[in-house]
Amino acid sequence: MHATGTLFEEPADPVGAFVDKIGVLTPEARQELDAWRAGEVVLLTCVAFAEVDAGSGRQRFTGQPSGPHAVPTHRSATADLLGFIDGSAADDLLAALGIHGIKVSRFDYYAAPHRIEVGDVVRRRLTLD
């Protein structure tokens, strides 16, 4: 087990990301899209990952993305990002590793270094402290 973590990234198609999430574009989603278009928020998806050595070198396995989440650009976004990290997503990913035949103990999974990855473009648009 090399590392676990959470990756935040902007969806290529924010409207599609909202529709994929719940099947329709709700009034709340429309408000978040309007705020995104106005530059008041950044829309991010959040996905848990695990990097393991599966015998053929380091491989990254990812869980299901959550979001999009609206993250304000006018104040610190650190608490928002930390709040989106869901422990149940990590548990689901640990189970998925077992399904793929990768034997990782629960202890080793949770003892592995944990990273939070945010791309440079997103990092420049948010205040992270």
Q: Could you tell me the pTM of the whole model?
A: 0.84
List CB contacts of 54: < 8 A, sequence separation 6 or more.
100, 102
Q: What is the residue range of 10's domain? A: 3-125
Cβ atoms 8, 118 nearer than 8 A: yes
The phi, psi pair for 105, rounded to 5°, reads -70, 155
Question: Which stretches does DSSP call E strand in 29-102?
Answer: 41-53, 58-62, 66-72
**What tens digit of pLDDT does each residue of 33-85 get?**
999 999 999 999 999 999 988 777 888 988 888 889 999 999 999 999 999 88
Return the higher-pLDDT residue of 129 and 23: 129
Secondary structure of residue 5 in the 3-state scheme: strand
For the chain, how many structural domains are there in total?
A: 1
